[in-house]
A and B are shown apart, each in its own frame.
Chain A
Amino acid sequence: MMNRRHLLRTTACGFGSLAFNAMASSPLADRHGHHFPKAKRVIFLFMAGGVSHVDSFDHKPKLDELDGKMLDFDDARVVAKTGMGAAQRVMKSLWPHQRRGQCGHWASELFPHMGSMVDDLTFIHSMHTEGVAHGPATIFLHTGSTAFVRPSMGAWVTYGLGTENENLPAFVSISPSMGNGGPRNYGTAFLPPVYQGTAMGRSGIPAKDSTIRNVRNELLGRAEQERQFEFISKLNRAQFQRSAAKNGGHDPEVEAVINSYELAWRLQNHAPEAFDIAKESEATKAMYGIGDGLASDNYGRQCLIARRLAEQGVRYIQVNYSDNSNNPAWDQHSNMPKHAEHAAAVDKPVWALVQDLKQRGLLEDTIVWWGGEFGRTPYSQQNGTGRDHNPGGFTVWLAGGGFKSGHSHGQTDEFGHMAVQNKVHMHDLHATILHQLGLDHEKLTFRHAGRDFRLTDVHGHVVHDILA
């Protein structure tokens, strides 16, 4: 019986030059962008539903001072419907804030672990975006458009840079939600399908039971499968020789098919191991908050898988903290204290991921991006105990990847409602992340239906102030 290594060697001999040629022209081949990159990959920690910035990293003493007072605000939802603002009840942060780290950045007790690493982070407090509801805002975050169907950011990045490891998918979304755009948030739209994100599991399925579709044949034993793959290779070669005979030994189309099988076979043999955290030490698992019964177990596993993928050269990794409902996890329209449950699930894993990347020397060329599709209002929704969506001002943070550390950029108004100083639109954030990857957002275009499309449409400015 042939083992895998032997098989690969023989197939490699059989198709040696052919496979080599195909590799060189692979649409996923690792390549440079437009300028020298500061980072090679992205890990996006998506906090679906919208974390409250005034309860976490955007400290507003004014809210304590005016807690309970009725004041006029331009509420985004009300404005979209009526074109006017309305009176709202100011609501203070539920968690005490204090200065943390060397930089003295304010952080609340909602995220004690993240608070301990403010010196590693760049905060953007002046984010603003499009879309008042989850659907449009989530799709906008991922594709730069609320209504039109556009490629997702991960697809654009892989289109621009290819991948460092063709034995793994170039773009992986871990536990994506089926709602609020679903697959569109890691889709390619009109970019070639090779840039499609690969979903690992989906939200609702525990990370320990998640897999990639079709990456293994559940019905065949390894030996049977190797025998079949060898047979397929031989059949393909026979057909190639027949069709190429008339073309001086060339038939690029059939070669491409053969090559796709080789790639698939390698993926099939590498991916399961890449996703398997069993070999990680107990200490590492503990660091990520992984353990039976721990609130952070699931997201900890997701973050640890993300680190393993980053290590192995996956270009774009999205780690979703989400669910499948229309009102995703962080969406506390009522009952703000529930934020604490979600914080308990993500705080330690996120901290561990950044620290782990740092200690392995990976942080410097990895962009870690933490944030949601929008923030929340500094006033209570309809006088209740929750906060409504706020696309007009919110906070995200970035780590590694050539960004400043212990830095904050931009401001919201004194309530944390609207971004007012050094505003950063979601388009700008997209442009800036692309910039760090060596991609010029104005040059990263794809001709489709008679026009050149970009992730940032006709917008976006690189935020140079946050670059190290």
Chain B
Amino acid sequence: MPEMALEWRFCEMRVFPLVLVLFATAVRADERLEHFEKEVRPLLLERCIKCHGPEKQKGGLRLDSADGWKAGGDSGSPVVPGDPVASRLLSAVSYANRDLKMPPDSKLPEGAIQALNKWVTDGAVDPRTGPAVKKSGNVLTASSHWAFKLPQSTPPPKVKDQSWVRNDIDRYVLAKLEAAGLQPAPEAGADVMSRRLSFDLLGLPKGFTDLESALKSKAFAERWAQHWLDAARFAESSGGGRTLPFKDAWRYRDYVLESIENDVPLDQFIKEQVAGDLLPHRTAAERRRNLTATGFLVLGAHNYEEQDKDLLRMDIVDEQLDTIGKSLLGMTLGCARCHDHKFDPIPIRDYYALAGILRSTKVIRDPKENVAHWIDAPLPMDGDEEAKTLADEKHMAELESKLADAEKGLKKLTPKREPRDGNRRPLALDEVPGIVVDDASAQKVGAWVQSTRYPTYVGEGYLHDQGAEKGALSITYTPTITKAGRYEVRFSYTSTAGRATNMPVTILHADGEADLTVDQSTLPPIDGRFISLGQYRFEANGQAYVLVSNEGTDGVVTADAVTFVPVEQLNELAAADDALVKSNPELARATAEVKKLEQEIKAFEKSMKARPVVMSVAEHEDRGDTRVHIRGSIRNLGASVPRGFIQAAYHEGTPVKMPSDQSGRVQLAEWLVSGRNPLTARVLANRVWMHLFGEGIVRTVDNFGTTGELPTHPELLDHLALYLQQHDWSLKAIVSYIVSSSTYRMSSRAVYDPADPENRLLHSQRRRRLDANALRDTLLLTSGKLDDLYKGPNIQKAIAAKDSNDTGVLNLEYGYVFGDTRRSIYTPAFRNKRMELFDAFDFNDINQSIAKRNVSTVSPQALYMLNSEFVINAARSMATLIPQASMEAQLDFVYREAVGRLPTLEERQLCLDFLSTDPTVDDWALLIQSVFASPDFRFVD
């Protein structure tokens, strides 16, 4: 049959050439269709449609219809008919693109790839009909959302019961209660008010006397600074596997404390944190504040070990946007990194408009560093101090340059140095100081050749590579170290002309790896036998090795022994060296000069006041708009987006144009605190309210988006936002305004009212829980142990370090013992290890901006109260503070101090029963601990 058809076609061909052409196309189309049906359709069905079909549309792409792939996904259409090279489908299935390999679980067989190639080459015939993925275009449809409109001033509503009203806040609250037929709770008693105000304003169980002095107190600054530190995800280490302490983060904490103590307007406070490094300044003090403030942008949890530095750069931008979004705008912006926000009107373009600003901001000091590091910015000092420091720094630079010269001179002399013992003889293993690993006991790879030609080796000889097979030989020295500590690692080799000048060495020590090269063409500086490879920390029986290879070397490589000399032993060796040096006057002079300069530098370093540094940012060399990162990938870039803000929240009258020569952070800061920004003032006012009532007017304090809750009192929220703006953005003014209201002063022990089960209308105050800070501070205060040192660092070991990546402080937190008794705001805020009490009692997750802490009741809290050393010691300590008096009076003292009231009759009886007639201090301690454990200790009415 087919043959006949063929014949027939030929026959027709002759007669109607025109028809032939059409017909031939039709036949080929047939073939192509057949190819699609037989080869391509089943393949797509089996390997692609699961993720790119009706159930899932990964990457926004469907492959189950022609319209599906024609419309394409986030990266555009994967198929260019007739052009397999331009078709992303083919580069994906052939695994040619490292970042886009499809199907991800395993590569298609070669035949299948060829089938797809043929299909595309032949024009990608596809008869399938069906839907494509709709591209979202509803960016501004949700701009009617309440939070994106500017706050409106409304006249306070009229209320029936004028006598209850202390200020306008009460009118907004009472009007709603009256409308619902509810009564406000009566005013709380004096004991309760005093305890409530003490906790709310000072974070302590007592100490409130009057509002004015409370607001002025340092305790107020400590309490309210912590609230901002929570939102700013303040921490003192980077987190991640290798966790770097933020040794200067305390300066940022001090900045926040000072700002709150001095009631710095919150708009200025925010501007300084977002763009302080770019703001004008009149004095050095102002400049210090401005630079320190920008720590806000740097304090995030980052994987500084990330090897892909471009990815790290965007990860940091993302973290900054997340923090700014949550802490200031009440928005979760992070979702828009990969796709248009699912719920809020924030398209991916808005994200990259903002990202362009932060991507133009530099956070990493040097992208070439293996473990990355933030920027440590030096601070200017005041007048004379600055002049003195400048002079000191100049002097230090001179000393250092002198030392460099002197070392050079000494080095010139040293090649003439003979081995210590004068005769060039081999050393036996037991003559060499330290732990010795000779070439004989090291693991060798490749064709090393043994030699004894140059007799300054250790042991039976040394190895060399004959100057050949570069990259094929290696030798690994693995020591047995039984005592943990710091060791100087030394390598012995024999030098002569023609030796490699760049022999690579890797040292694996307890804190990571060090890579360096050794120049074997010069005489080994130590005794003409060894060179120091540096000092490192090693753990007892830990992983350690020194790996030498001949890869990429430019001459003959020799390898002899490696020694690990305990640093304590180095002094003895130096003394022995002296003898040798003394015999050569020239060498002695040079050595003395180096030593003198070293000592001078050390002494000067001690005497001079070091210039403080802070974690800060700078303008990036690579500034400007950025491109959309499709699905968040740094290697799949879409269109460039002009830098800007969130469109849905944008109102006329704020800057729009970004300077081409700057990142745009100044403009961002201005927009954030502009009167034309609908979010920031509301978010801040709501948060203040939350800290005084337990819940915000918008209960989802970090989420003002469409998935957040609506404000219970929208007019009141706007009233407070405007109040804040009109009162110079003063935190103290708005706190004072709120706590002066009758609303704040209501009792929290109202009769349960079914008309307002969740107390959304505020028919009473809310009973609250001591947070982790207040709980710890209260235990310390009542036990007489609270150290009230204000401001300053608290991790002595970290501040002593020159660099956070120093081995002495790296991973400091893992073994850290929390022992100080300062207020909890100063407790080291490590990302990987927190104080136990903080873990148990819902301390903030300091890895991200969260203004509202979780509140839980779990058994580990009970175990902590029952059995922890901290609580037991606090109780014992307080027991010793009980004054000599009758048992009844003593009991009153305990209750007053611990729970701010006298015991009830029943409690009094229970306590007396427990104590029996002649209680010891231990008995009292048990009683006190039990009171600590009771609910009234942990609740604030």
Contacts and interface: CB of A to CB of B under 8 A. Distances in A.
Interface of A: 70, 77, 79-81, 83, 87, 89, 126, 132-136, 138-139, 146-149, 178-184, 189-190, 192-194, 196, 198, 213-220, 224, 227-229, 231-232, 234-236, 238-240, 242-243, 246-248, 250, 253-254, 256-261, 263-265, 267-268, 323-327, 331-335, 380-386, 410, 419-425, 449-451, 461
A192 B383 CA distance: 52
A388 to B, nearest CB: 11
B303 A136 contact: yes
Contacts of B326: 449
Listed from nearest, the 4 A-B pairs whose CB atoms lie closest are A135-B241, A80-B307, A264-B862, A383-B474
A450 B839 contact: no
19 contacts: A135-B241, A135-B305, A147-B302, A148-B301, A149-B239, A182-B813, A193-B854, A227-B914, A228-B929, A229-B866, A232-B934, A235-B933, A240-B935, A243-B935, A256-B857, A268-B863, A323-B542, A325-B510, A382-B474
Interface string B822-858: 0000000001111010011010010110100010111
B149 to A, nearest CB: 20
A79 B311 CA distance: 13
B861 interface: yes
A384 B445 contact: yes
A326 B98 CA distance: 29
Contact of A239 (B539, B867, B935): B935
A421 B104 CA distance: 10
Contacts of A83: 98
A214 B303 contact: no
Given A147-B301, A260-B858, A423-B105, A235 B866 contact: no
B845 A216 contact: no
A246 B752 contact: yes
A268 B867 contact: yes
Contacts of B572: none
Given A80-B308, A189-B845, A382-B506, A247 B751 contact: yes
A213 B870 CA distance: 12
A450 B476 contact: no
Contact of B106 (A183, A184, A232, A422): A422
A193 B839 contact: yes
B511 interface: yes
B634 to A, nearest CB: 12
Contacts of A179: 241, 811, 814
A146 B866 contact: no
Contacts of B96: none
Contacts of B443: 334-335, 384-385
A331 B545 CA distance: 12
B473 interface: yes
B886 interface: no
A interface secondary structure, majority: mixed
B931 A326 contact: no
Contact of A136 (B98, B241, B511): B241
B690 interface: no
Contacts of B240: 135-136, 139, 147, 181
Nearest to B332: A450
B934 A327 contact: no
Contacts, number: 275
Given A260-B858, A450-B708, A383 B863 contact: no
Interface of B: 98, 104-107, 239-242, 301-303, 305-308, 315, 326, 332, 334-335, 343, 443, 445-446, 471-474, 476, 478, 504, 506, 508, 510-512, 539, 542-543, 545, 547, 549, 551, 700, 702-703, 705, 707-708, 749-752, 767, 811, 813-815, 831-834, 836, 839-840, 842, 845, 847-848, 850, 854, 856-864, 866-868, 872, 904, 906-907, 910, 914, 926-927, 929-931, 933-936, 938-939
Nearest to B542: A325
Given A334-B478, A451-B332, A239 B814 contact: no
Contacts of B305: 133, 135-136
B543 A254 contact: no
Given A133-B307, A257-B938, 15 more contacts: A134-B241, A147-B303, A179-B241, A179-B811, A183-B839, A213-B868, A228-B929, A238-B907, A260-B862, A325-B539, A327-B543, A334-B478, A335-B443, A380-B474, A385-B474
A259 B326 CA distance: 35
Given A89-B445, A450-B703, A326 B811 contact: yes
Nearest to B707: A450
Contact of B752 (A250, A410, A420, A449): A250
B935 A254 contact: yes
A264 B863 contact: yes
B446 A383 contact: yes
B69 to A, nearest CB: 22
Contact of A326 (B104, B335, B510): B510
A260 B859 contact: yes
Contacts of B543: 325, 327, 331-333
B486 to A, nearest CB: 15
Of the candidates A246, A331, A333, A425, the one having the most CB atoms from chain B within 10 angstroms of its own CB is A333
A65 to B, nearest CB: 18
Contacts of A193: 839-840, 842, 854, 856, 858, 860
Contacts of B751: 246-247
B858 A382 contact: no
Nearest to A442: B56
B106 A334 contact: no
Nearest to B846: A149
Contacts of B927: 231
A28 B152 CA distance: 46
Contacts of A257: 857, 862, 935, 938
Given A182-B832, A196-B860, A239-B934, A146 B551 contact: no
A83 B98 CA distance: 9
B867 A215 contact: yes
A192 B859 CA distance: 13
Nearest to A74: B98
Contact of B702 (A139, A194, A450): A450
Contacts of B939: 253-254
Most buried by B among A147, A194, A326: A147
B840 A81 contact: no
Given A240-B935, A384-B474, A385-B476, A182 B866 contact: no
Contacts of B98: 79, 83
A334 B446 contact: no
A148 B856 CA distance: 23
Nearest to A132: B307
Contacts of A214: 836, 860, 863-864, 866-868
A449 B332 contact: yes
A38 B929 CA distance: 46
A165 to B, nearest CB: 13
A461 B845 CA distance: 30
A181 B510 CA distance: 16
Q: Which of A189, A190, A231, A250: most chain B CB closer than 10 A?
A: A231
Nearest to B810: A326
A193 B862 CA distance: 13
Contacts of B545: 333-335, 384, 386
A334 B549 contact: no
A386 B477 CA distance: 12
B910 A234 contact: yes
A95 B181 CA distance: 83
Nearest to A78: B307
A217 B872 contact: yes
A182 B242 contact: no
A228 B864 contact: no
Contacts of B848: 149, 449
B933 A423 contact: no
A386 B307 contact: no
A263 B862 contact: yes
A263 B866 CA distance: 12
A196 B545 CA distance: 37
A143 to B, nearest CB: 11
